[in-house]
Amino acid sequence: MQLLFATVVLCCCVNGLLGVGRLQSVSVSGRLICDGRPAAGVKVKMYEKEFFLDRKMAEVYTDVNGIFTVTGRKREISTIDPKVNVYHKCNYMGLCYKKFGITIPDDYITWGNVPERTYDIGTLNLANKYTGTTTDCLN
Protein backbone atom coordinates (compact mmCIF):
# COMPACT_ATOMS: atom_id res chain seq x y z
CA MET A 1 0.00 0.00 0.00
CA GLN A 2 2.82 2.42 0.87
CA LEU A 3 4.55 1.56 -2.40
CA LEU A 4 1.38 2.37 -4.35
CA PHE A 5 1.03 5.68 -2.50
CA ALA A 6 4.68 6.59 -3.18
CA THR A 7 4.28 5.71 -6.86
CA VAL A 8 1.19 7.92 -7.24
CA VAL A 9 2.91 10.86 -5.53
CA LEU A 10 6.07 10.40 -7.62
CA CYS A 11 4.09 10.27 -10.87
CA CYS A 12 2.26 13.48 -9.98
CA CYS A 13 5.53 15.25 -9.17
CA VAL A 14 7.30 14.04 -12.32
CA ASN A 15 4.27 15.02 -14.40
CA GLY A 16 4.35 18.57 -13.05
CA LEU A 17 8.12 19.07 -13.06
CA LEU A 18 9.05 17.50 -16.37
CA GLY A 19 5.98 18.37 -18.40
CA VAL A 20 5.16 14.72 -19.02
CA GLY A 21 1.73 14.09 -20.48
CA ARG A 22 -0.47 15.83 -22.99
CA LEU A 23 -1.73 19.38 -22.71
CA GLN A 24 -5.52 19.35 -22.38
CA SER A 25 -7.99 22.22 -22.27
CA VAL A 26 -11.64 22.77 -21.45
CA SER A 27 -14.06 25.70 -21.53
CA VAL A 28 -17.36 26.24 -19.69
CA SER A 29 -19.89 29.04 -20.04
CA GLY A 30 -23.22 29.91 -18.50
CA ARG A 31 -25.41 32.50 -16.88
CA LEU A 32 -26.14 32.74 -13.17
CA ILE A 33 -29.23 34.44 -11.77
CA CYS A 34 -30.65 34.95 -8.29
CA ASP A 35 -34.44 35.00 -8.14
CA GLY A 36 -34.68 36.12 -11.77
CA ARG A 37 -32.04 38.86 -11.56
CA PRO A 38 -28.49 38.59 -12.94
CA ALA A 39 -26.01 37.35 -10.33
CA ALA A 40 -23.12 39.75 -10.97
CA GLY A 41 -19.71 39.25 -9.35
CA VAL A 42 -20.17 35.56 -8.53
CA LYS A 43 -16.91 33.62 -8.31
CA VAL A 44 -16.55 30.62 -10.64
CA LYS A 45 -13.47 28.37 -10.33
CA MET A 46 -12.40 25.52 -12.57
CA TYR A 47 -10.59 22.62 -10.94
CA GLU A 48 -8.99 19.40 -12.07
CA LYS A 49 -10.15 16.68 -9.69
CA GLU A 50 -7.13 14.94 -8.20
CA PHE A 51 -6.78 11.95 -5.89
CA PHE A 52 -5.83 14.04 -2.85
CA LEU A 53 -6.36 17.74 -3.55
CA ASP A 54 -8.13 19.34 -6.50
CA ARG A 55 -5.92 21.70 -8.53
CA LYS A 56 -7.22 25.06 -9.64
CA MET A 57 -7.05 25.61 -13.39
CA ALA A 58 -8.80 29.00 -13.71
CA GLU A 59 -10.99 31.53 -11.89
CA VAL A 60 -13.43 34.17 -13.19
CA TYR A 61 -16.31 36.31 -11.95
CA THR A 62 -19.69 36.74 -13.61
CA ASP A 63 -20.28 40.03 -15.42
CA VAL A 64 -23.15 42.48 -14.75
CA ASN A 65 -25.49 40.17 -16.66
CA GLY A 66 -24.43 37.09 -14.66
CA ILE A 67 -22.58 35.63 -17.66
CA PHE A 68 -19.23 33.87 -17.45
CA THR A 69 -16.81 31.86 -19.54
CA VAL A 70 -13.95 30.04 -17.85
CA THR A 71 -11.19 28.23 -19.72
CA GLY A 72 -8.51 26.05 -18.18
CA ARG A 73 -5.67 23.84 -19.32
CA LYS A 74 -3.48 21.24 -17.71
CA ARG A 75 -0.80 18.79 -18.76
CA GLU A 76 -1.71 15.31 -17.58
CA ILE A 77 -0.80 11.73 -18.49
CA SER A 78 -4.41 10.56 -18.24
CA THR A 79 -7.53 12.46 -19.28
CA ILE A 80 -8.23 15.40 -16.98
CA ASP A 81 -11.36 15.34 -14.83
CA PRO A 82 -12.51 18.98 -14.73
CA LYS A 83 -15.23 20.54 -12.61
CA VAL A 84 -16.53 24.04 -12.00
CA ASN A 85 -17.34 25.33 -8.51
CA VAL A 86 -19.74 28.25 -8.03
CA TYR A 87 -19.42 30.38 -4.85
CA HIS A 88 -22.40 32.65 -4.10
CA LYS A 89 -24.52 34.38 -1.45
CA CYS A 90 -27.89 34.32 -3.23
CA ASN A 91 -30.55 34.40 -0.49
CA TYR A 92 -27.85 33.63 2.07
CA MET A 93 -26.64 36.03 4.78
CA GLY A 94 -23.92 33.86 6.37
CA LEU A 95 -20.28 34.85 6.71
CA CYS A 96 -19.13 32.25 4.19
CA TYR A 97 -20.34 31.33 0.69
CA LYS A 98 -22.62 28.62 -0.61
CA LYS A 99 -20.73 26.34 -2.98
CA PHE A 100 -21.79 23.72 -5.50
CA GLY A 101 -19.89 21.92 -8.22
CA ILE A 102 -20.60 20.84 -11.78
CA THR A 103 -18.59 18.03 -13.37
CA ILE A 104 -17.66 18.64 -17.02
CA PRO A 105 -18.30 15.75 -19.43
CA ASP A 106 -15.24 14.18 -21.09
CA ASP A 107 -16.67 15.08 -24.53
CA TYR A 108 -15.66 18.70 -23.90
CA ILE A 109 -11.99 18.03 -23.18
CA THR A 110 -9.66 18.98 -26.02
CA TRP A 111 -6.10 17.77 -26.57
CA GLY A 112 -4.11 20.98 -26.96
CA ASN A 113 -3.99 24.55 -25.71
CA VAL A 114 -7.33 25.82 -27.07
CA PRO A 115 -10.67 24.07 -26.42
CA GLU A 116 -12.52 23.10 -29.60
CA ARG A 117 -15.93 23.67 -28.00
CA THR A 118 -17.48 25.07 -24.85
CA TYR A 119 -19.69 23.27 -22.36
CA ASP A 120 -22.73 25.51 -21.82
CA ILE A 121 -24.36 24.94 -18.43
CA GLY A 122 -27.24 27.21 -19.44
CA THR A 123 -28.92 29.59 -16.99
CA LEU A 124 -28.85 28.50 -13.36
CA ASN A 125 -30.93 30.10 -10.63
CA LEU A 126 -28.72 30.23 -7.53
CA ALA A 127 -31.85 30.38 -5.37
CA ASN A 128 -32.46 26.71 -6.22
CA LYS A 129 -31.06 23.89 -4.10
CA TYR A 130 -28.34 21.88 -5.86
CA THR A 131 -27.13 18.44 -4.87
CA GLY A 132 -23.85 18.61 -2.98
CA THR A 133 -24.18 22.25 -1.92
CA THR A 134 -21.90 23.08 0.99
CA THR A 135 -20.68 26.17 2.83
CA ASP A 136 -17.15 27.34 2.02
CA CYS A 137 -15.21 29.97 3.97
CA LEU A 138 -11.83 29.44 2.31
CA ASN A 139 -12.56 29.84 -1.37
In this prediction, residues 43-67 reach a mean pLDDT of 96
- Residue 9: predicted pLDDT: 47
Instruction: Examine residue 8 and state whether it is found in any structural domain, yes or no.
Output: no
CA–CA separation, 75 and 79 (whole Å):
9
The per-residue pLDDT for range 26-50, each reduced to its tens digit, is: 999 999 999 999 999 999 999 999 9
- Residue 51: predicted pLDDT: 86
Instruction: Examine residue 7 and state whether it is found in any structural domain, yes or no.
Output: no
Instruction: Examine residue 4 and state whether it is found in any structural domain, yes or no.
Output: no
DSSP per-residue string spanning 65-105: TSEEEEEEEEEESS---EEEEEEE-TT--SSSEEEEEEEPP
CATH number at residue 27: 2.60.40.3330
Instruction: Examine residue 6 and state whether it is found in any structural domain, yes or no.
Output: no
Report the chain's mean pLDDT, rounded to a whole number: 90
Q: Give residue 92's domain range.
A: 22-136
